[in-house]
Amino acid sequence: MRILVAALGAPGHAFPLVPLARALHDAGHDVTFATGPDLEPVIATSGVPTTAVGRPATEAFREVMIGRGLTERPSDQEVMREVASEVFGAVLPRSVAGDLVPRLREQPPDVVVAEVGDPGAALAARVLGVPCVLHSFGRRPSPVAPMSVTVPARLATVAAELAVPLAEGDALGHAYLDLCPPSLQEPDSVAHLAGLTELPLRPVAWNPPTPFAPRRLTGRPWVLLTLGTSFGEAGVLRTALDGLSALDVDVLVAAGSVDAGELAGLERRGVQVESFVPQADLLRGAVDGVAAPPALVVHHGGSGTTLACAGAGVPQVLLPQGADQFSNAQAVTTVGAGVQLRGDEVTGEAVTAAVTALLGGGRELAAARALAAEVAALPAPDEVAARVERWAVPGQPAI
């Protein structure tokens, strides 16, 4: 089969699709991974053929913010949601569909696998009459979440420009590949309301080849500290590191969207700061010179990191900053696999207390391990890829 896999050009959106894309490619299918121009070279390291489509997300955000008279990321969550709604519901879908439609006309795929945050790819499939399967990157969105309410209206405008019918509640696909273990799932979700055929798929963390050497780790139990690639703030990282420094642990800081130079002065024996780390490999314990996975992870609650920790059976301290991170943090704490600190709760003392409690093992560690067993029971990417002829075609039994 000729298969187009598509995702927005951001690690949290695209990386979760790489394992299935590789499995389909390894099974002999003609697979192309379409993503944003900034991320396309990174995804290419997976060995799957790639193509760049659409605009960089950073450029789209900058354009919308300038259009609203904003010179920096707004601190007001309502304003930020409006900006994000325009970016994800109009600017990026219009750009992606504009690039993909002529390409798919020249060489139509048998199916498009579109990341749920990339409706432009799903619209392009609809224009060409190609079946489309949606691929999650985390929990299903709640139908009452602000983005679930505002994005569809903007997307309807783009669909009309493409002369594509888009009824209310139309998810632009016939099936949904669900990466989220049931115990973390949003019970009342958009996917359910849209009546999609839901197919479970094990989340498998992936990272590109990333040079890494444990320059300052001493061999003690260690903690990974990260705020991801979109919402990081140096002040929050510094506060969390202050709390961790009171404990007998090594700390590896993945600065991500924060300039690592702002944190370089914090390096010392037992504290290492990097812009990016091979997070998936570290969680698997597959990095030379690092004897074991982290004892726990202090992070922002992004979907990719949350599910990677779930699969690794690692307890989590969550410091949500925006987007879906608050609901992810709540889901993890509800099942008992971690604790969350929000807003003014994030102090050095609170981080020390939270990490101390989790390092003691007990119920949080047991819950984290139960979550890992739940993830391991989901069908692996190669199992799902082996059944592609069934789930790729509307009306066929998926299993």
Query: In 3-state terms, what secondary structure has residue 352?
Result: helix
| Apex 108 CA angle, 103 and 114, nearest 5 | 80
Identity of residue 385:
A
Q: Which CATH number among 3.40.50.2000, 3.20.180.10, 3.40.1350.10, 3.20.20.10 corresponds to the domain 222-376?
A: 3.40.50.2000
pLDDT at residue 18, rounded to an integer = 98
Give mean pLDDT in consecutive 10-residue pieces for the chain, a chain of 399 residues.
96 96 97 97 98 92 86 75 87 96 95 94 95 92 61 90 88 90 82 75 95 87 86 80 89 83 78 90 90 91 94 94 85 93 87 91 91 97 91 68
Query: In 3-state terms, what secondary structure has residue 305?
Result: helix
For residue 198, with 0-12 CB atoms within 10 Å meaning exposed, 13-18 middle and 19 or more buried, which class applies?
Answer: middle
pLDDT at residue 366, rounded to an integer = 93
Query: In 3-state terms, what secondary structure has residue 252?
Result: strand
Phi and psi at residue 49, to the nearest 5°: -55, 140
pLDDT at residue 399, rounded to an integer = 52
Give the domain ranges of the chain: 2-203+378-391, 222-376
pLDDT at residue 6, rounded to an integer = 98
Single pTM value for the model: 0.91
Do residues 284 and 293 touch, judged by C-beta distance below 8 A?
yes
**Span 2-203+378-391: which CATH code?**
3.40.50.2000
Tokens of 110: 């048998």
